[in-house]
Each structure stands twice: as C-alpha cells, then as structure tokens.
C-alpha cells in the first residue's frame, strides 16, 4: 500500500524541482521593407550594392540604361535655348544698324523741313508784295508741309523699331519659353529617375535583379530594411489584452542578445488563430491577440526579421 504513495511523492518532488515555463509572451521580429524602384523601364546597367550590405542615406543603389533619356534631355535643352533667343530678339527690336539708318533719314528729313521753312518764309514775303505769282507761293507752302509729314513718318518708324515685337508676339514667345522649360524639367526628371539612391540608412535585405536584366517600370530592384522599420510582433491571451494600450513599454529578449526596450504601437482588434465560432467560456480562454511594438531609434540595428523573441511588460 505504501509503494504507490511513495511514487506519488517522488513525482511531486520532481515536479516542484522542474524548470518553470517561460514568462512573458512569445513573438518574432517583423520588418517593413522599403522597395526601391524606378518609375521608368530599362535594362539594369549598374547594381551598386550587394545583398546583406549596410548603406548610408544617399548611397547609390542602381542605375538603368538611359541613352534615350539623355538624348531627350539634350534636345529639350537646345529647344529651350532657341525659344529664349527668339524671345530676346523680339524684345530688342531692330538691329543697331537699322536704327542708325532710320536716325540718319530722320535727320535728313528735319534738315529738308528746315530748309523748306526758310524758303516758305521768303516766298510769303514776296507774295505779299505781289512780286511772285500765287502758284509759286503755294508750291513752297506744300513742299514745307510734305517735309514736315516726312519728319513725322520717320519719327514714328524709329519709335516703332525701338519698341521691339508687339505685345501679343512677345506673350507668345514667353509661352514658348515656359513650355520649353517644362519640357526640360521633365527630361531632367526622367534622367534622374533612371538612377536611384538609398532614401535612408538601411540594411540591403535583397536584390531582385542582376545587371543586364530588363526591369519593367515600377518594379523594385532593391529591398531595404531601415533599422527603425524593424518591429516586434507578439501575442497575448484575451485575459491580458485589455490591460495593454498603445505607448506601454515592453522588454524584448532575444537569444544571444541583450534585452531591448520597445513600446507598443498597435493592438489588433481581431483575435488570432481561432475558428469563427461563438465564444463560450472554454474557447474564450484560448483567444490570443496580436500586438506590435517598435524600438527606439536604431536599437534594432543588426537584428533580422523572423528572429523569435520573448516579450515582457515593463513595470
């Protein structure tokens, strides 16, 4: 009768000395990747990074073949210079030599008008004394009027030549310059987009193409993982879920690494890994909810997605 009792006592002692289960909640590291792509298609000419490397912000990642874009850039630059030259030409008016010719003709007309004025005065005095006929006086008077009209005409021509093009022509030329500037900016943008750089310091998680392969527009070539994009996903039972909220501090433990601090950033409103049935008292205790926590700054530098972690709530 004592033998079964002894066995029971031994089992209880062994159970009391056994290792306790892990405290906290289980989870894993998850990364939000930055997929770097070009909005334009082309052959991959240069891949400047390799898988597993660390890059700084602004470091070149890859470049696509861009001969057509460079040719379009040169064409747009030439068209812009042509449009700007036409606008400047319209604003300048006639050339200096043409203006000098009009000025000389105007001086000649003024001299002729002055001479005809003197002749008219003499003819008027003679006509009053009836020394000359009325026809001679009229001839002198009309000649002076003609010379005055010539002065007015040349003065107007000179002023018009100094003005340059008409307002409507200048407005049209300015619109051509604006359109050429926009075309040049688009051509520059196309050239720039064929080469991509790292938007921030990150770990090169993967390279998706090799040099020489054709890359369609918008398809990523390099996958980056900035350290601040690494987060923790862990699962808590329904009984503990209500006690957690965004901003709570947690402690993250990893094998072979010192524990790290993180803060809760997201609490899933949906239960995980449960069938869509009514929750009674038995299966409600089996519900778990997914929670995400983020690290401070670059604390997660050197860690990788998929690593298992143990999470405890900071006191």
Q: How high is the pLDDT of residue 160?
A: 80
Domain CATH code at residue 285 = 2.40.30.170
pLDDT digits (tens, 9 = 90+) for 226-249: 999 999 999 998 888 988 999 999
Q: For residue 1, what pLDDT band results from cuts at 50, 70 and 90?
A: very low
Residues 219 and 306 in one domain: no
| CATH code of 44's domain | 2.40.50.100
Which of 126, 160, 188 terminates a domain? The answer is: 188
Q: Provide the mean pLDDT of the chain.
A: 86
Pair 218, 151 in one domain: no
Looking at the structure, tell me whether residues 146 and 181 fall in a common domain: yes
pLDDT score recorded for residue 287: 78
Nearest to 44 by CA among 231, 225, 277, 209: 209
Choose the final residue of a domain: 168, 188, 208.
188
How large is the average pLDDT for residues 153-163?
Answer: 84
Rg (CA), the chain: 45
Tell whether 129 and 230 lie within a shared domain.
no
Domain count, the chain: 3
Judge if 52 and 119 occupy the same domain: no
Residue 297: what pLDDT? 78
Q: Is residue 220 part of a domain?
A: yes
- pLDDT by residue (tens digit) across 23-63? 589 899 999 999 999 999 999 999 999 999 999 999 999 99
Domain membership of residue 50 as a residue range: 34-64+197-224
Show which of 164, 188, 212 is a domain's final residue. Answer: 188
Tell how many helices (H) and how many strands (E) occur in the chain.
7, 14
Kindly state whether residue 17 falls inside one of the protein's structural domains: no
Average pLDDT over residues 202-231: 95
| Tokens read off for 263 | 């803060």
CA dihedral angle for residue 93, residue 95, residue 100, residue 101, rounded to 10 degrees = -100
Residue 11, pLDDT score: 42
Shared-domain flag, residues 57 and 202: yes
Does 138 lie in the same domain as 56? no
């Amino acid at each position: 009768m004592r033998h079964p009792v002894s066995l029971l006592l031994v089992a209880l002692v062994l159970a009391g000395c056994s290792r306790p289960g892990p405290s906290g909640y289980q989870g894993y590291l998850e990364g939000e990747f930055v997929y770097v792509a070009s909005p334009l298609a082309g052959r991959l000419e240069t891949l400047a990074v390799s898988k597993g490397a660390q890059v700084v912000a602004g470091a070149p990642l890859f470049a696509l073949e861009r001969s057509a874009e460079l040719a379009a850039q040169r064409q747009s630059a030439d068209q812009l210079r042509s449009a700007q030259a036409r606008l400047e030409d319209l604003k300048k008016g006639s050339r200096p030599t043409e203006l000098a010719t009009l000025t000389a003709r105007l001086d000649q007309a003024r001299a002729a008008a002055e001479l005809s004025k003197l002749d008219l005065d003499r003819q008027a005095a003679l006509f009053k004394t009836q020394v000359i006929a009325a026809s001679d006086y009229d001839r002198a008077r009309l000649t002076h009027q003609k010379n005055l009209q010539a002065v007015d005409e040349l003065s107007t021509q000179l002023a018009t030549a100094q003005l340059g093009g008409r307002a409507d022509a200048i407005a049209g030329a300015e619109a051509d310059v604006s359109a050429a500037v926009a075309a040049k900016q688009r051509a520059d943008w196309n050239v720039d987009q064929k080469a991509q750089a790292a938007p921030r310091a990150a770990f090169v998680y993967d390279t998706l193409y090799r040099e020489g392969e054709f890359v369609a527009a918008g398809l990523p070539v390099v996958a980056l993982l900035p350290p601040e994009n690494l987060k923790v996903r862990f699962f808590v039972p329904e009984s503990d879920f209500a006690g957690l909220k965004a901003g709570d501090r947690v402690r993250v433990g990893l094998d072979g690494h010192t524990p790290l601090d993180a803060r809760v950033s997201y609490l899933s409103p949906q239960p995980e890994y449960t069938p869509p049935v009514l929750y009674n008292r038995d299966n409600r205790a089996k519900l778990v909810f997914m929670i995400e926590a983020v690290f401070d700054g670059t604390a997660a530098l050197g860690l990788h997605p998929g690593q298992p972690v143990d999470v405890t709530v900071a006191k």
